[in-house]
Amino acid sequence: MDLFATHLLVNDWIMEAGNKIRHSFGESITVDTKTSRNDLVTNVDKEIEQFLISKIREQFPTHKIMGEEGFGDELTSMDGYVWLIDPIDGTLNFVKRQEDFGIMVALYKDGVGLLGYIYDVMRDRFVYGIKDYGAYCNGRRLSKPEVHSIGDSSINVNGFMLLEANEKEAAMIRKAMVTRTYGASSIEHIQVVLGKSVAYVSTLLAPWDIAAGMVIAKELDLHYSTVDGKEVDFLVPNKKTTGVICSKDIAEEIIAAFK
Ligand code: IPD
Ligand code: CA
Ligand code: CA
Ligand code: CA
């Protein structure tokens, strides 16, 4: 596979998907709940996932796809080429705030990340990583964020963590200058790779919330693991896992809070 040719294709698909989402604000959006009153899905989530899957199937009919809204395949292994798609990450923000949501797409081969894309649709901020060729934001090559301690800046955590943190976890979070919670893992990952926050720590993530960020993290020599320091497993039961992305200098300190 020609990684650069694929990158150019994915770049176009995501830009087209972003346009579709922006245009959807002028149309009527159907909102349904999934598992609870704050777990939403819209016709736009479904349409964008179907759009991205149709593009992938057209170009790469043998590749497997894991998509949040269920239009992909049921995966039993990460062997071969596997795409992971979150058509709208931060659906609640999309519905209620019309900002702070993103599109995430990643391509893995035999469990190794090749391409990872996070598009902050309303800020038009497109962050991506290409295996062994670096990470970029709107075409500008990113350098490794300079972070030496948790206290250097803000820490991004998911809302449940703030509400339910035990003493050890809360003490770790308090070391940061301040906390930030956007309700969209796409936006939180971008904050870390751009060096705006020291870390993003979440106790509730799905494979498609993590896959793209992991590729970008690798290119920037950042740490990525579950909150208790294990390798992320995309085939985890119920698609529920945890994640921490941060500088390697502070990873151990963050993980220690969860052990
Ligand atoms: C959610 C967001 C949120 C995170 C949840 C995700 P969705 O994604 O990324 O920040 O805390 O765990 O499920 O469902 O809006 O794509
Ligand atoms: Ca969702
Ligand atoms: Ca989603
Ligand atoms: Ca998501």
Gap between the Cα atoms of 231 and 238, Å rounded? 17
- Ligand 1: which of 89, 190, 203 to mutate, judged by most atoms within 8 Å of the beta carbon? 89
Gap between the Cα atoms of 59 and 214, Å rounded? 24
Q: What pLDDT digit, counting tens, does each position of 104-148 carry?
A: 999 999 999 999 999 999 999 999 999 999 999 999 999 999 999
CA of 44 to the centre of ligand 3 (A): 10
Which residues does the annotation place in the binding site? 68, 86, 88-89, 209
Atom 2 of ligand 1, nearest CA residue: 184
- Residue intervals in the chain for CATH 3.40.190.80: 154-257
| CATH number for the segment(s) 3-141 | 3.30.540.10
DSSP character string of 232-247 = P-TT-GGG-EEEEEEE
**Protein residues whose CB sits closer than 6 Å to any atom of ligand 1:** 68, 86, 89-91, 158, 183-185, 202, 204-206, 209
- Residue intervals in the chain for CATH 3.30.540.10: 3-141
> Could you report the predicted ipTM of this complex, rounded to two decimals?
0.97
In this predicted structure, the answer to whether residue 216 has a pLDDT above a threshold of 90 is yes
| Phi, psi for 175 (deg, rounded to 5) | -65, -25
pLDDT value of position 1: 85
Q: What pLDDT digit, counting tens, does each position of 53-71 carry?
A: 999 999 999 999 999 999 9
CA of 174 to the centre of ligand 2 (A): 29
Protein residues near ligand 3, an ion, with CB under 5 A: 68, 86, 88-89
pLDDT value of position 253: 98
| CATH number for the segment(s) 154-257 | 3.40.190.80
CA of 160 to the centre of ligand 2 (A): 16
Gap between the Cα atoms of 86 and 106, Å rounded? 9
Residue 208 in contact with residue 160, Cβ under 8 Å? no
pLDDT value of position 222: 98
Residue 154 in contact with residue 179, Cβ under 8 Å? yes
Q: What pLDDT digit, counting tens, does each position of 69-114 carry?
A: 999 999 999 999 999 999 999 999 999 999 999 999 999 999 999 9
